[in-house]
Chain A
Amino acid sequence: MSATKPRDDRRAAWWFLAPVLVGFAVFYGYPAARGVWYSVTDYNMLNTASYVGTENYAKLFADEKFWNSMLVTAWYVVLNIGSQTLLALGVASLMHRLTRSVVLRATLLLPWLVPNVTIGLLWMWLLDTNLGFVNQLLHTFGFDPVGFFTDETWAMPTVAGINTWAYTGYTALLLYAGMLQIPQYLYEGAAIDGAGEWRMFRGITLPLLRPVLALVLVVSMIGSFQIFDTIAVTTKGGPVSATQVIYYFIYQQAFKYFHMGYAAAAAICLALILGLLTAIQMRMLRASRSDLA
């Protein structure tokens, strides 16, 4: 055979792709189309879905619980992403300027490896009103015990704090990996010019890290919007509806009340918000351009 004839691997290619294409069609493409269809029907898993037009959406936009869940989710995202990003940035810069230890990095990764369910349980115990370690500590210092999960004002900051604890190490490692790409000579030059650590951080690390920071921010925000496990284990949306996040709202509509069509409509709204956020944030932080490239 001649090497000059243009290759065509058509027959082999479809075999290489077959499992992935089947997986894609059956568990992504088909359900996505079905999801859109359910959102305009009154399906409850027992009946035959019948078309109801935009009724689900109209009901959704008039539903106080839906708006409450949006608000609660936004509050969670602000608390979680705010604290987590700031802390992770701090930890990553410390590591960047102090050590390259793999053991330290592996230790910081530990909470990320643990199921959210376990983390929820662990913190329910640590924060237990009567016997929990944290409340014992507060007691030692003369404070009254706090009902971290049972107090309406405290519940959401508590859940956000738990997930910040769980994901700060992981986020820090991502930022740290980005910092390692910044050329070392920039720091050496700045040190010769007499710049202190804080000026180096403001003048070198932060601006050169921006593309990585933007990416990490977008990815962790998208994850944060989809918080479910921790809430399903600890507060179950309560007290009252203080932690009734959108994912939990959809879950309950679908699997507790069997309002499949209604839940699908809410899921589409969430999908749209996530897409929009990604676009806005990418533009805001000009993440598409790297200052290093």
Chain B
Amino acid sequence: MTRRTFSPGRALAWVAMAVFVVVTVFPFWWMIRTALTPAADIYTDNASLLPENPTLINFTRVLGLTTEAEARAAGGSGAHLNFAGYLWNSIVYCSLIAAVQTLFCAMAGYAFARLRFPGRDLVFGIVIAALMVPPIFTLLPNFIFVKDLGLMSTMAGMVAPTILMTPFAVFFLRQFFLSLPRDVEEAAILDGNGPWGIFWRIALPMSRGPLITIGLTTTVWAWKDYLWPLLVGRDEENRLVTVALGVFLQQSPNTQPDWTGLMAASTLSVLPVLVLLIFMGKRLVQSLNFTGSK
């Protein structure tokens, strides 16, 4: 920053920036505000920034904490909702995929970067070529495959295609391991460490940053997953939040969706990533330098 002096141009630029921030944040505010509004008020109380009669009933009823009669009285359609359960499923789904995939891709990335074995570059090239296959293409055969294996409506079937690897994570972590200084590892070899010892005791601890980056990015993408869980995890017991939101909307009568309930459920689907953003915001923002421009 060379100049910090006031100028009309800079003031205008700040105003434009502020408008953009408001446009970005306001819809979320309106979502929360609607979630806190009693369903009966929705026709009359929709002009102010805060609800006139704030209530938590929409949250308790979508979380499945009220009786069916209470939920119906508060504007629900009577269909059973259990967003506490769906949130839990989503958290399990994301954690499993992020943790296991990151570890396996780190192992492979390390092997491609550091170990010497015949056919290394060829195998790496083939794995990376998968980056060019659009997901829809493998989606249909994978669906049939998972169905044939009898894994429909199981967590195993839902995580199967992504838990072992994604080409991007392998590529990203290999690039990182290539950039690690070799001398530490060479010292460890002279100390009698094998590849496993070096990987666990030296390479992994030195790569905390990139591992967290990949883990976080994977978590966010898994949290947003919709199509695959929609196909494989339709059942109530293993429904993810995204799938459950879609089902909730369909259950609503066409004439007038249960907006207060829908917005409460939407708020719940945002909360976990909001927490992630508050605690890991800096890391997430920095990860964009990593994954985006290289």
List residues of chain A with CB under 8 Å of any chain B CB: 3, 6-10, 12-14, 16-17, 19-24, 26-32, 34-35, 38, 45, 90-91, 94-95, 97-98, 100, 102-118, 121-126, 128, 131, 133, 136, 165, 169-170, 173-174, 177-178, 180-181, 184, 187-188, 191, 197, 212, 215-216, 222, 226, 228-229, 232-233, 247, 250-251, 254-255, 260, 263-264, 267-268, 270-271, 274-275, 278
The prevalent SS among residues of B at the interface is: helix
Q: Between A and B, how many residue pairs show CB distances below 8 Å?
A: 285
Cα A105 to Cα B286 with chains together (Å):
10
Nearest opposing residue in chain A for B278, CB measure: A106
Q: A24-B130, A188-B2 are in contact. Are A16 and B144 (CB under 8 A)?
A: no
> Is the Cβ of A16 less than 8 Å from the Cβ of B136?
no
> Is the Cβ of B43 less than 8 Å from the Cβ of A94?
no
Near A by CB (< 8 A), chain B positions 128-187 give: 130, 132-145, 147, 160-165, 167, 170
> Is the Cβ of A115 less than 8 Å from the Cβ of B241?
yes
Cα A115 to Cα B265 with chains together (Å):
12
> Per a CB cutoff under 8 Å, which of B108, B112, B134 touches A267?
B134
Cα A289 to Cα B165 with chains together (Å):
30
Q: Is the CB of B281 closer than 8 A to any CB of chain A?
A: yes
Q: Is the CB of B190 closer than 8 A to any CB of chain A?
A: yes
Q: A20-B105, A98-B13 are in contact. Are A13 and B262 (CB under 8 A)?
A: no
Q: Is the CB of B47 closer than 8 A to any CB of chain A?
A: yes
Cα A180 to Cα B294 with chains together (Å):
13
Cα A165 to Cα B22 with chains together (Å):
12
> Is the Cβ of A125 less than 8 Å from the Cβ of B17?
no
Select the residue from B132, B136, B147 with max chain A CB neighbours within 10 A: B136
> Is the Cβ of B141 less than 8 Å from the Cβ of A105?
no
**What are the residues of chain A within 8 A of B273 when measuring CB–CB?**
113-114
Cα A12 to Cα B145 with chains together (Å):
31
**What are the residues of chain B within 8 A of A121 when measuring CB–CB?**
245, 249, 262-263, 266
> Is the Cβ of B107 less than 8 Å from the Cβ of A19?
yes
Select the residue from A114, A133, A170 with max chain B CB neighbours within 10 A: A114
Interface size for B (C-beta < 8 A) is: 100
Near A by CB (< 8 A), chain B positions 30-52 give: 30-31, 34, 42-43, 46-47
The prevalent SS among residues of A at the interface is: helix
> Is the Cβ of B164 less than 8 Å from the Cβ of A22?
yes
Cα A264 to Cα B144 with chains together (Å):
12
**What are the residues of chain A within 8 A of B126 when measuring CB–CB?**
24
> Is the Cβ of A270 less than 8 Å from the Cβ of B293?
no
Cα A70 to Cα B194 with chains together (Å):
54
> Is the Cβ of A20 less than 8 Å from the Cβ of B242?
no
Q: Is the CB of B69 closer than 8 A to any CB of chain A?
A: no
> Per a CB cutoff under 8 Å, which of B31, B130, B259 touches A28?
B130
Q: Is the CB of B3 closer than 8 A to any CB of chain A?
A: yes
> Is the Cβ of B226 less than 8 Å from the Cβ of A229?
yes
**What are the residues of chain A within 8 A of B111 when measuring CB–CB?**
9, 12-13, 16-17
Q: Is the CB of B27 closer than 8 A to any CB of chain A?
A: yes
> Is the Cβ of B285 less than 8 Å from the Cβ of A16?
no
Q: Give the distance to chain B from A50, nearest Cβ to Cβ, in Å.
A: 16
